[in-house]
Amino acid sequence: MYVYIYIYVYIYMCVCLYIYVYMYIYVYICIYISYMYMCIYIYIYMYIYMCVCVRTDVVAVTPWLAPIVWEGTFNPVLLDSIYKPKKISIAVTVFAVGKYIMFLKNFLETAEQHFFVGFNVHVYVFTDRPKEVPEVKMADGRQLTVRLVPSSKRWQEISARRMELIQKLIDEQLRKNSDYIFCLDVDSKFHDRWGTESLGGLVAVIHPGYYLDNRSKFPYERRSASKAYVADGEGDFYYCGGAFGGILEEVYLLASTCRFNFEEDAKNGIEAAWQEETSCYYFIYLTDCTSCLLTVLSPEYLWQDFKARNPEVKTIRFSGVIKNYADIRPNV
């Protein structure tokens, strides 16, 4: 009798060990084969974590069952320990054209304190005023490159042209030295951690002004002649133009699609409601597309300083500063 029990326990333990080793190897392979698999793995992890540490006061999962990154839905230590051995490199693009150069110092200094601390970060500053780029001391593994861009008489053009220049940067530079890219507005600053929890195939931030609204209020482009047209009843979230990112190829695809659509619209005398921010329309059609995993960040990742913090927003990680448009933009 005892012999049978011993044999049973022995077989049971072998099976458990086999499953454990198999899972371990599987995850190991997933992580080391490609970033896309890694994204899937992290996704599953975050999803399970989120189910355990549910935030019931916010929408923490999308209708297509992806997690929405809010404070309390991830474990920063664990996520960092997954990405650290990969020695990932993160490129950041920030445009400081004309008077917007005044925001750069604050942006860079706070990025040093909160943005991917301890990781390789390469900031690309696009400006027409290279001499005014501030000296900011950067930690080891972090660097800054200035790229010269022409100025413009229209802020809409500066803002929208970012897509073309991001595409060019990826082509000319980033494929050699970066894994991920984030494209951020310069008139903003960091207040709290923005790190590995934000990585994904394509990353979008829910706009702080619309996260409590019904979709009928989202300021999508509603003229059907525009390439950025979004029909009534479509789109689950309205995303920010001021912060997006992801792996290089996905952002490349986003930038080239948006640029193409923007130029096509221009030929027909149309400028989409919020210029390239209507790239949001691009995100909404991706949710059922298998080539990309859309990682959705909560408005913690781009709040607006003029807005009081709502109680469900436990922390603000990055926010747009208050500015006087008439003073800083080349046109109104």
- The amino acid that residue 245 corresponds to is G
Given the structure tokens 């909160």, which residue do they identify?
A: 114
Could you tell me the smallest distance in angstroms from the CB atom of residue 162 to ligand UD2?
6
Could you tell me the smallest distance in angstroms from the CB atom of residue 320 to Mn ion?
5
Residue pair 72/314 in contact by the 8 Å Cβ criterion: yes
187 binds Mn ion (CB under 5 A): yes
| Known binding-site positions for UDP-N-acetyl-alpha-D-galactosamine | 95-97, 100, 185-187
Q: Is 277 a catalytic residue?
A: yes
Residue pair 70/58 in contact by the 8 Å Cβ criterion: yes
Q: Tell me the backbone φ, ψ of residue 244, rounded to 5 degrees.
A: -155, 170
Indicate the residue among 187 and 197 with the shorter CB distance to Mn ion. Answer: 187
Could you tell me the smallest distance in angstroms from the CB atom of residue 190 to Mn ion?
14
Residues 6+ apart with CB under 8 A from 241: 159, 185, 274, 275, 276, 277, 278, 279, 280
Chain positions 232 to 291 lying near Mn ion, rule: CB under 5 A, are 242
| Known binding-site positions | 95-97, 100, 185-187, 207, 277
Rg (CA), the chain: 22
Residues that bind ligand UD2 (CB under 6 A): 95-98, 100, 155, 158-159, 185-187, 240-242, 274-277, 302, 320, 329-330
Given the structure tokens 């996260």, which residue do they identify?
A: 211
What is the SS3 assignment for 21?
helix
195 CB-contact burial (10 Å; exposed 0-12 / middle 13-18 / buried 19+): buried
Indicate the residue among 188 and 196 with the shorter CB distance to ligand UD2. Answer: 188
Could you tell me the smallest distance in angstroms from the CB atom of residue 129 to ligand UD2?
10
Query: How many amino acids of this chain bind Mn ion (CB under 5 A)?
Result: 3
185 binds Mn ion (CB under 5 A): yes
Residues that bind Mn ion (CB under 5 A): 185, 187, 242
Active site residues: 277
